Amino acid sequence: MRLANKVAMVVGAGQSPGETLGNGRATALLFAREGAKVLAVDRDIAAAEQTTALIRQVGGEAEAFEADVVSEEALRLALADCIGRWGRLDVLHNNVGISVAGGDATPTEITEEAFDRIMAVNLRGIVLACKHALPVMRKQRCGSIVNISSLAAIDNYPWVTYKASKAAVIAYTKQIAIQNAEYGIRANAILPGLMDTPMAVDTRARAWNRTRAEIAAERDAKVPLRNKQGTAWDVAHAALFLASDEAGFITGVALPVDGGASCRIG
């Protein structure tokens, strides 16, 4: 019960269609299992409700809330709902990100529309969620923010907008970490590597008209540790640690969860 008596808002708690578990859903489930009351926020309310149903099946407490991160008002209302229900916010977990599905492309092929859309989801959504969470946490004099970046931020990655946005998430996380340390608020980022999730594998299979098995095998071969992608649970356990009091003296870090892939860099 590492999050006992805590309230967590997980933005991106649903998931896209696929055979495996998504990072946001796994994190919401794990937070609840560890004692947190969870507001599962997603633009797809049906997906968020599926997450809350899974939490309730094992006796956890959770509510679903529909919000698209491109809308500041929707995020403000999500925060208001969380505070109205439970009176506080201990953990804000931002698990949002699109790339291929948003039309991402190489630096010479990216379109203005795709760039703006992906940046709005991947970066602006996190900034605006934190904008409304920080005053609550400052008043409490405590709180933990965990933002999902990506190994793509520091690795060789082919598509321009995902890389740029996820690199910006790291810089932004460090900014809010140092500027809110005096309030007892911690902010950290996770950099997932190659993960076997619906967004990473199934979305590519659909976009490229290939089989899921082909995409997964190619990704597995690139991972140093056991030549196997990570799972959503690997990201969720990292998020749980950073959200918990066990990480009470850790802020401003960018934690790779990548099976050793970042060891190739530098």
What crossing angle do the helices spanning 23-33 and 45-57 adopt, rounded to 10°? 30
Q: Is 65:38 a contact under the CB 8 Å cutoff?
A: no
Burial 225-249 (b: 16+ CB within 10 A, else e): eeeebbbbbbbbebbbbbbbeebee
Kindly list the strands in the beta sheet with 91-94, ordered across the sheet, starting from the edge strand earlier in the chain: 62-66, 37-42, 7-11, 91-94, 143-148, 185-192, 254-257
Catalytic annotation, pick one of 157, 162, 172, 183: 162
**Rounded distance between C-alpha atoms, residue 136 and residue 180, angstroms:** 12
Residue appearing with tokens 């099946």: 57
Task: Tell me whether residue 162 is one of the annotated catalytic residues.
Answer: yes
- C-beta separation of 191 from 255 below 8 A: yes
Rounded CA separation 53/38 (Å): 12
Query: Which of helix, strand or coil describes residue 37?
Result: strand
| Three-state SS at 98 | coil
**Residues carrying an active site annotation:** 162
